[in-house]
Structure 1
Amino acid sequence: MSIIETEEQKELRAAVAALAERYNYVDYVLPKSRAHEPLTELWAEAAKLGFLGVNLPEEYGGGGAGIYELALVQEELSAKGAGLLLVVVSPAICGTIISKYGTDAQKQEWLPGLADGSRIMAFGITEADAGSNSHNITTIARRDGDDWIFSGSKVYISGVDQADAVLVVSRTEDAKTGKLRPALFIVPTDAAGFTKTPMEMDILEPDYQFSLFFDDVRLPADALVGEPEAALMQLFAGLNPERIMGAAMAVGMGRYALDAAVRYANERTVWKQPIGAHQGIAHPLAQRKIELELAKLMMQKAAFLYDSGDDFGAAEAANMAKYAAGEAAIASLDQAIQTHGGAGLTREYGLAAMLGAARIARVAPVSREMILNFVAQHSLGLPKSY
């Protein structure tokens, strides 16, 4: 693994940063968030430039690169306050799973649209009584001739109002043993019996969260992705990229906050010198810079390992990256607000509005407590605690 990026990767960073500057946080994202409107224009232009599908196979219109490059895209967007939540979901999770485990027909149907942004797929795993414990999932798909009958519910599912379908984690019954096995299904959002209800969240975000209900939704046989007995492997093929992309978004958000703080610390003058000259301001910002760079390195390691096919190494690094990035993002944003003083709480700068979004990084897509459980058990060899 080289920590020096290729010329192509550097050029990609520069191109994404230029786009994100035009759709920056204060001028574009924050007004959209206050109006609860999706970042449609940014999504369309990012798609047109080929940024959304950089990780998907070239034969289906993608860039043929990896999760490293998609995380790079997300980081640079987020560094201008313009991170796209659906990049985490549609090309990273769903696109990766379908690329690896979908049938030829599923790949032909979905990957070109996911690559060029013309189609969006949400991802549904969380239930009211099944968060990190996916073994408690109660959404069930049962056979009815060649079809499947789909029943259950999901919560905290992002961007369903923008999606053409949801890749849903459910369970099927093994006809021989009667046991329930995990399985993944593509459920169109316009299917009969499918309903979505916006959840009332108390944070400023352009994307809504939804509760989903499946009331005997009839699905064709080819709605099943891959093999039922391989579903756990298929699921983790998408969850590792989710953690890496979540880390990329958090690192970028931390960079945005730190840049805002440094800019203000250089411009704001008291006692005839910039406030950044005082160690009480400078040292905490320097600490945040170090923490962000360390989190970024772990994120890059996780992406490299994932693209290299090291699934276990990628899982460990992805969890660590997501933890470190979440902590660094919150600390950076909090320090940015502190650096601005009272100005940090005004609408002009929008930093206080971003604080809730940054706080998500400690909770989703996996809580920091579950990450610590993972590291304690799998990295340190301690007894399982749950």
Structure 2
Amino acid sequence: MTPVIEIQEQADLRAAVAALGARYGREYFVAVTREGRHSDELWAEAAKLGYLGVNLPTEYGGGGGGIAELSIVLEELGAAGCPLLMLVVSPAICGTVIARFGTDAQKQQWLPGLADGSLTMAFGITEPDAGSNSHRITTTARRAATAGPTGAADWLLTGRKVFISGVDIADATLIVGRTEDARTGRLKPCLFIVPRDTPGFEYHPIDMELSAPEKQFELVLDDVRLPADALVGDEDAGLLQLFAGLNPERIMTAAFALGFGRHALAKAVDYARTRTVWKDPIGAHQAIAHPLAQAHIELELARLMMQKAAHLYDAGDDAAAGEAANMAKYAAAEAAVKAVDQAVHTLGGNGLTREYGLASLVTASRVARIAPVSREMILNFVSHQTLGLPKSY
């Protein structure tokens, strides 16, 4: 299932990652999850093969590709039934932001490790009272009264974050906070690197019905003291830097959704080919075949939009990429939900058994609809930004 619009190197990458995923598969993913472990073996092998940092600059050990290549990695692992969620946050969001806006010291400290998988970084933006409104973020940073070891004033970071993936295994978390603009007095977004062992940085697991090796956490920051160089990039370019990470997040979420949508569809198609109740396999009946064909079409269409978004982003067209990334995330999530639902219905009672492994995807497929931004907020974005309709808020 190689898209014709991919260049040969991308097609080769897709085939190679698919082969890696096939060696692990859904059984590995389920076993790791049930045992309360992480996908360490798959992460290590993907790192050794150079897949984790395929989007990062070559001078820091990356592959020199872009989000287009990294989305291929996540999609194919998902299609094999063993997605690596930390690909979304560590190299895609955090690695991209640091590569584009970080200081030379930050790039040297973090990018080689993010590229070879020896370091991981979580991303903290969501707050309990802010929802999808980034303007309501209450995590704030202020300058400390006394200077730090470098002579510059340290930062004091205070706030809460929720639904932050993989904090327990991440070496640091890229936190979105707000600082006061000295000229206007208004709060503006800024990003800070907070190592996991920083005093005052607390994280607590959130009990989720979602079955995945990566856990979700609530973060509590109570006057967490950070050195001046914890700030990523320019203090006055926070919004630009923030969206530099959010667009790849949406593209990678689309890849995540497409992967498990394809995985579910493949299970259903195999079952429809072999399950015989009357004379012919059930896949011979149009009531079974047509919904599966429609699910395949919608997944392929969503992939095209994802590839468009990745191409625009990698070409540096942030404005157009923002629109396309939102559309891709929306289309992929809807296609994945439909594919999973149809797969379960195709298998009937078997669709809810552990043997076939589709039931857990019912919950997982909803994640792509609500995170990192709900489908309703994407429809708001398109109606306002693309169609020029007025806001209701």
TM-score under structure 1 normalisation? 0.98
- How far did 1:179 drift? 2.3
Query: Post-superposition, which runs of at least 4 consecutive aligned residues in structure 1 deviate over 4 A?
Result: none
In the alignment, structure 1 residue 190 sits paired with structure 2 residue 197? yes
- How far did 1:3 drift? 4.9
Aligned length: 384
Partner of 1:104: 104
Deviations 1:29-83 (A, max 9, x none): 0122223322111111111110000000000000000100000111101101111
Q: In terms of mean alpha carbon deviation, does 129-138 or 97-106 score higher?
A: 129-138
Matches of 1:219 and 1:312 in 2, distance apart?
32
- How far did 1:323 drift? 0.4
Partner of 2:19: 18
Partner of 1:229: 236
SS of 1:270's partner is: coil
Unaligned runs of 5+ in 1: none
- How far did 1:11 drift? 1.0
Q: Contact between 1:197 and 1:210, CA under 8 Å: does it hold in 2?
A: yes
Partner of 1:175: 182
Q: Contact between 1:51 and 1:70, CA under 8 Å: does it hold in 2?
A: yes
Deviations 1:187-245 (A, max 9, x none): 01100011100001112111110000111111111000011211000000000000000
In the alignment, structure 1 residue 132 sits paired with structure 2 residue 139? no
SS of 2:168's partner is: helix
Matches of 1:169 and 1:321 in 2, distance apart?
24
Partner of 2:352: 345
Q: Which residue of 370, 383, 389 corresponds with 1:382?
A: 389
RMSD: 1.1
Partner of 2:372: 365
Partner of 2:142: 142
Matches within 5 A, 1:9-48: 9-25=10-26, 27-48=27-48
SS of 1:225's partner is: coil
Q: Which residue of 285, 291, 299 corresponds with 1:292?
A: 299
- How far did 1:176 drift? 4.0
Unaligned runs of 5+ in 2: 148-152
- How far did 1:178 drift? 2.8
Partner of 1:84: 84
- How far did 1:23 drift? 1.3
SS of 1:167's partner is: strand
Q: Which amino acid aligns with 1:139?
A: T
Q: How many percent of aligned residue pairs carry the same amino acid?
A: 68
Matches of 1:374 and 1:46 in 2, distance apart?
35
Partner of 2:5: 4
Matches within 5 A, 1:238-249: 238-249=245-256
Partner of 1:260: 267
TM-score under structure 2 normalisation? 0.96
In the alignment, structure 1 residue 319 sits paired with structure 2 residue 326? yes
Q: Contact between 1:62 and 1:116, CA under 8 Å: does it hold in 2?
A: yes
Matches of 2:36 and 2:323 in 1, distance apart?
35
